[in-house]
Amino acid sequence: MSEQETQTGLLNDSRKHCPRCGWSPLGDQLPPEEDMEEYLRCLLGDKPYCKSYTLYDGRLKFGFKSIDGNQVSEMNRLLFGLDPAGVEVQDLSIKIKALYFLSEMDCNGKAQAFEAPVLKSPADIGPEFDKRFGHMSELMLRLLTQAMVMFLDLQAVLVSAGFDSNFWKGAGLRSR
């Protein structure tokens, strides 16, 4: 396991991935307390939840941000517009998620900030992805994808954990 995987506690050897979308359920594993606290602050403050992953002693950083309801609808409209029999569905699904969720990237001191794109049709996904990420090596794209999957998994666990009464204890709330 990498240092980041150990720090976040989000990856383990028994994890299975959906072959279609790459999502991996984390079972009963609870997210770190600081993530629960920040998620709750964002939720109650009606702000997007943000999380950064720093790799290679700070030389590489990916920052992700949750998206709002309008962006979810837009992303889903584009995804549902894809031909389900097409071999590119999984590839385009990953690309559109990277376009919508990646908010910042810092590669060896070269920082970039990103906004969610405005895409009119599924045909716009590939060209927008290429415009934003086409200069990256295949290895960098793998790192980006892995960090994004970790972020999406964390969000899913945080949502599920909110229905558990123990979540509130972990989020620092105390009964009066």
Residue-wise pLDDT tens digits, 6-16: 344 333 333 44
Confidence of residue 31 (pLDDT cuts 50, 70, 90): confident
* pLDDT of 85: 65
Helix, strand, coil percentages for the chain (3-state, nearest 5): 50, 10, 40
For residue 3, pLDDT beyond 80: no
Query: What's the maximum distance between 2 C-alpha atoms anywhere in the chain?
Result: 56
- How far is Cα 119 from Cα 79, in angstroms, rounded to an integer? 11
* pLDDT of 15: 43
* pLDDT of 4: 42
For residue 129, pLDDT beyond 80: yes
Cβ neighbours of residue 37 under 8 Å, at least 6 residues apart? 171, 172
**Average pLDDT of 107-118?**
90
* pLDDT of 105: 93
Q: Is-above-0.85 flag for pTM?
A: no
Q: Which residue has the higher pLDDT, 31 or 55?
A: 55
- How far is Cα 116 from Cα 4, in angstroms, rounded to an integer? 26
Q: How long is the chain?
A: 176
Mean per-residue pLDDT of the chain = 79
**Average pLDDT of 57-82?**
89
